[in-house]
């Protein structure tokens, strides 16, 4: 039985901050019945946008895993463990097969997006391609924004293969946080904005790294490198700065006042948004 989802966000206008950990186990409900439960999320390692939820379908679809894009999510009610999607069970049944033992390839993404008639999110100026949010009108979409029909590639082993940019939250959970003067914690969760589905913060546990440790939030724009092979997230922050930063209580909503206090604290130490104006992470993929 999945545990009931905890509402860990507060509404700023129409923006809510939510926890990926509490999204896990949520029931995904189609227009004509349940599809399954969320097991993890895939995000891209360039913009930290959540691109897909991975859904375990259970016995009705022979324990198959399927992808659900934020494009199809209608709403997730605060305090509820249900994600409502604008899909039918038959659509999901006929969707492209996902190989659970391999990374999601760009070819599979194109096939998936074309099946659902969704636009591509890569190649445009915004988080979702031509838009800032995963919203679109399929009846009025220009044909040039739709993915092209994928062709079966001829693999040349002498040529480098395209980078893999989708990462699993289950995989990155546990990565060590490396500061400018040593390690201090590990990633335990992700906080995302459920309007544009961008990951805003990493939740970092420091309890096992220093006496009196606590849980802290590290904003994505305070990260300067991710080593996907060594399982490390690097920041120019120091251990002392993080030790003295405002603690995060994951049993409470993230209030506007807490975010403002967090930002003021890091601004004081020269690590505010201006320190990483692009908001992007320099990632060492090593050809991954």
pLDDT in tens, the chain (288 residues): 333 333 344 444 456 889 999 899 999 999 999 999 999 999 999 899 999 999 999 999 999 999 999 999 987 776 778 999 999 999 999 999 988 778 899 989 999 999 999 999 998 899 999 899 998 665 554 444 444 444 433 334 344 445 568 999 999 999 999 999 999 999 999 999 989 999 999 999 999 888 888 999 999 989 999 999 999 999 999 999 999 999 999 888 888 899 999 989 988 765 544 433 333 343 443 333
What pLDDT was estimated at residue 15? 64
The CATH class given to the 11-145 domain equals mainly beta
Q: Regarding the domain with residue range 170-284, which homologous superfamily does it belong to in the CATH classification? A: Photosynthetic Reaction Center, subunit H, domain 2 (3.90.50.10)
Long-range contacts of 115-123 (CB under 8 A, 24+ apart): 116/69, 116/71, 116/72, 116/91, 117/141, 117/146, 118/69, 118/71, 118/147, 119/145, 119/146, 119/147, 120/145, 120/147, 121/44, 121/49, 121/51
Q: How far is residue 81's CA from residue 248's CA, in Å, rounded to a whole number?
A: 22
Q: Element (H or E) spanning 261, and its range?
A: helix 256-268
Q: How far is residue 112's CA from residue 193's CA, in Å, rounded to a whole number?
A: 24
Residue extents of the structural domains in the chain: 11-145, 170-284
| Phi/psi at 222 (5° precision) | -95, 0
Q: Element (H or E) spanning 124, and its range?
A: none
| Phi/psi at 36 (5° precision) | 165, -155
Tokens of 150: 């994928």
Same fold, 11-145 and 170-284: no
């Amino acid at each position: 039985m999945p545990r009931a989802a905890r509402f860990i966000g507060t509404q700023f206008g129409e923006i809510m901050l939510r926890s990926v950990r509490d999204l896990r186990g949520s029931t995904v409900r189609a227009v004509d019945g349940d599809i399954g439960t969320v097991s993890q999320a895939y995000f891209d390692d360039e913009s930290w946008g959540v691109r897909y939820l991975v859904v375990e379908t259970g016995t009705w679809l022979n324990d198959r895993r399927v992808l659900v894009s934020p494009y199809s999510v209608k709403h997730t009610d605060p305090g509820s463990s249900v994600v409502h999607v604008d899909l039918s069970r038959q659509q999901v049944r006929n969707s492209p097969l996902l190989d659970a033992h391999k990374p999601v390839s760009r070819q599979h993404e194109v096939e998936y997006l074309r099946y659902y008639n969704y636009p591509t999110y890569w190649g445009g100026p915004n988080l979702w391609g031509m838009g800032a949010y995963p919203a679109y009108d399929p009846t009025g979409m220009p044909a040039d924004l739709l993915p092209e029909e994928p062709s079966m590639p001829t693999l040349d082993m002498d040529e480098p293969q395209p980078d893999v940019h989708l990462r699993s939250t289950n995989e990155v959970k546990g990565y060590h946080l490396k500061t400018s003067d040593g390690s201090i914690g590990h990633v335990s969760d992700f906080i995302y904005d459920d309007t544009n589905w961008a990951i805003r913060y990493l939740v970092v546990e420091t309890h096992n790294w220093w006496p009196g440790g606590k849980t802290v939030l590290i904003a994505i724009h305070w990260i300067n490198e991710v080593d996907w092979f060594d399982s490390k997230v690097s920041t120019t922050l120091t251990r002392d700065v993080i030790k003295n930063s405002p603690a995060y209580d994951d049993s409470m909503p993230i209030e506007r006042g807490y975010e403002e206090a967090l930002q003021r604290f890091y601004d004081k130490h020269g690590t505010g948004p201006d320190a990483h104006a692009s908001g992007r992470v320099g990632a060492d993929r090593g050809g991954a």
